[in-house]
Amino acid sequence: MKSFRTEIEDPIVEKDILDLEQKIHAFHNQKIDEEKFRSLRLARGVYGQRQQGVQMIRIKIPLGKFTAQQLLRMAEVSDEFASGNLHITTRQDIQLHYVPLDRTPELWATLEKDKVTLREACGNTVRNVTASIYAGVDPNEAFDLTPYAQAFFEYFLRNPVCQDMGRKFKVAFSSSSDDQALTFIHDLGFIPRIKNGKRGFRVLLGGGIGSQPIGAHEVFDFLEVERVIPFSEAVIRVFDRHGERNRRNKARLKFLIKEIGLEAFLKLVNTEEKGLAQATVPIEAEERALKEALYQSEKTLTINDTSFEDWKKTNLYAQKQKGFFAVGVPITVGDIDSKKARQLAKVILQFTKDDNRFSYGQSVLLRDVKEEHLPALYLALKELQLDRAGFQRLNDIVACPGTDTCNLGIASSMGLAKVLQEVVEKEYPDLIQKHQIDIKISGCMNACGQHTLAHIGFQGMTVKSNGKVAPATQILLGGGVLGNGTGRFADKVLKVPSKRTPAVLRWILDDFEKQRHSEEDFFAYYDRKTKDYYYQNLKYYSEVSDLTADDFVDWGVKEKYEKAIGIGECAGVTIDLVQTLLFDAKEAFEWAQEALLEDRFSDAVYHAYNARVRAAKALLTQGNAKINSHASIIDAFDPEYPEYEKEKGLSFKEEVLKIHHNKPTASFAKIYVEHTQPLLLWIENHCHAKIE
């Protein structure tokens, strides 16, 4: 591996990358077990792939915001380290595939030359902060949320409070009540508002999709902008302390709120807020500055082409800045090869500024394009074969990677998406132009393709016929965004063999075209007809007694279908080995000491807190106590080990939860960190005594 150590300007980033390199070396030399190493690499964007021996790398792109130079850098990295492809995700991230593990530190270092990070793109962390792609150009927005969402991302990146939670934590900012960023399915969602001349946000809490979708709760009609980060930190601290850590399928924030109730949860948040270093975190918000595009022409182009007119109808968005447009560039299944990405970057340099966005619909939005430049931009995109009409329309189909690369994939989402896109574009061009209908596909129930939110959703499944397993599709209908932080989750209608999915889609679209009332959109039509209407008319397609050989081969492959599901890594794995937990505790204590020396007092306190809880879990693991959350560990320790209070004069719970009653000042941090070491020693001695 060639040296990259002297090329990184930021010492914090350099330390991060070198730490990953050292951990990989330790793993290869069996000094770190596989489970421990998994959690370490996930928090650094390195994710196990379905194919053995290679990794998927997730690049964290806050708000989906990228520059032409960053796009060029990612294309370069994909060519050198990965498969020469960039995959846009529904979290506005970029994923690279087929990367050798040993090359991941060098890959990361190369990305950081243009301020692109992998940190906390996976794992039990605050994931990529997503935002409306129209933020800053939306005519309906109260104000531009961009600086606030960016500040949120920067505040929680590498923050000790969210490095090893029970599960991932997702955040979204929408520019207006249209709720383009889907705040209602996030752990925290924010929609800008102005009240009495002050800026603030409507705040939503505890939403999520997956196999059990739950809509978020409104907890503030208006929260001042300077209170957003402290409130969010308190929420994350409560989730970290009280969230489930053993049962992975119950470890999301939505389940914690459901279990203890919203009122009780908010009381815990209020308690946490009292112990924060700052009650408010002011955020400076500068107005967007529009720069002059490089493109110059002596005369205005005119294009007499119906394709150009179709493109203008479906791909343009009039910005609040007069005379400027945002231009949607649909990317089939979110995949753009590195050569085309480079060419697109050159187009961006000519026609737009450095404020373009990857969309949650897995496509690209070019912003700040002058109206008179639209014909020339269209021709430039046409030359790259990126001129497809239909941005965020029926043919702009969302699909997760499915069985192409994902460990959890059951069916080929991307293969199916390509087939359905072809069906729509060849047979239903009028629907693309006239109606806003979403198709979304997920390869399993985890809903990375957001199928539960679709007007027409498809989920990968299996069916059995004569003792053989065939790929299948669950049909879902009627989901979508209602606006203002609300939405509806799609109804599960029925399951059909996968190869019949195009026929099912044709029936649904034909029926909509022929039977709908003149003013009905898909929502209104579905509600009038009801789920049972679709079930009765589609059940013919679910019959499995007459499957052909082709039905046992999934889309996009030639081999006979074989159901194979690996270990899901996206939320990490719970580790209960005593020695591993003690190692974690000592490592957290070292971080606390380091933070104390650097005057990062809040970080020092939280690292010390984590050291205490991890050590306590190591000891309690050897008994029968309930230890499925930090809170349960704290509650269980004193009843299990009353001798600690007798020896120390203060209960473990009182000692640990001093963070509730003390601000993280220099003096408190020093005492809290110093008192952590004898606690760790006491626990380690008792662990060894039990083992002996």
Residues 231-270: tens digit of each pLDDT: 999 999 999 999 999 888 889 999 999 999 999 999 999 9
User: Is the CB of residue 86 less than 8 Å from the CB of residue 74?
Assistant: yes
Q: Which of 114, 140, 165 is the last residue of a domain?
A: 114
Which amino acid belongs to residue 167? R
Q: Which residues are CB-contacts of 684 (< 8 A; sequence separation ≥ 6)? A: 582, 615
Q: Go through the chain and tell me how many residues it has.
A: 692
Residues 520 and 452 grouped into a single domain = yes
pLDDT at 264: 97
Which amino acid belongs to residue 502? P
Residues 414 and 547 grouped into a single domain = yes
Residues 257 and 321 grouped into a single domain = no
Residue 291 lies in a domain: no
Determine phi and psi for 300, rounding to 5 degrees. Answer: -80, 130
Report the 10 Å Cβ neighbour count for 326: 25
Residue 280 lies in a domain: no
Q: Which residues are CB-contacts of 481 (< 8 A; sequence separation ≥ 6)? A: 178, 179, 180, 182, 184, 453, 487
Residues 539 and 612 grouped into a single domain = no
The CATH number assigned to the domain holding 92 equals 3.90.480.20
- CA dist 692 and 680 (Å) reads 18
Residue 502 lies in a domain: yes
Residues 344 and 427 grouped into a single domain = no
Which domain range does residue 587 map to? Answer: 578-691
Residue 377 lies in a domain: yes
Tokens of 682: 């006491």
Number of domains in the chain: 5
Residue 281 lies in a domain: no
Residue 572 lies in a domain: no
- Tens of pLDDT along 285-309? 888 888 778 888 767 778 888 999 9
- Name the DSSP class of 287: P
Residues 421 and 371 grouped into a single domain = no
pLDDT at 467: 85
Residue 418 lies in a domain: yes
- CA dist 134 and 176 (Å) reads 9
Residues 451 and 518 grouped into a single domain = yes
The CATH number assigned to the domain holding 151 equals 3.30.413.10
The CATH number assigned to the domain holding 342 equals 3.30.70.3340
Q: Which of 502, 536, 552 is the last residue of a domain?
A: 552
Residues 488 and 417 grouped into a single domain = yes
- CA dist 620 and 285 (Å) reads 48
- CA dist 413 and 402 (Å) reads 5
Q: What is the DSSP code string of 559-619?
A: SPP--------TT------HHHHHHHHHHHHHHHHHHHHTT-HHHHHHHHHHHHHHHHHHH
User: Is the CB of residue 351 less than 8 Å from the CB of residue 365?
Assistant: no
Low-confidence ranges of the chain (pLDDT < 50): 1-2, 6, 571-576, 692
User: Is the CB of residue 593 less than 8 Å from the CB of residue 603?
Assistant: no
pLDDT at 577: 59
- CA dist 627 and 246 (Å) reads 8
Residues 416 and 505 grouped into a single domain = yes
HSE value, Cβ hemisphere, 13 Å, CA-based, for 209: 24
Q: Which residues are CB-contacts of 356 (< 8 A; sequence separation ≥ 6)? A: 65, 66, 67, 68, 348, 364, 365, 366, 367
Residue 475 lies in a domain: yes
Residues 404 and 548 grouped into a single domain = yes
- Tens of pLDDT along 329-348? 999 999 999 999 999 999 99
Q: Which residues are CB-contacts of 414 (< 8 A; sequence separation ≥ 6)? A: 333, 335, 399, 400, 401, 402, 404, 556
Residues 170 and 39 grouped into a single domain = no
Residues 100 and 193 grouped into a single domain = no
Angle value at C-alpha 62, between 59 and 63, nearest 5 degrees = 130
Determine phi and psi for 191, rounding to 5 degrees. Answer: -125, 125
Q: Which of 342, 359, 383 is the last residue of a domain?
A: 383
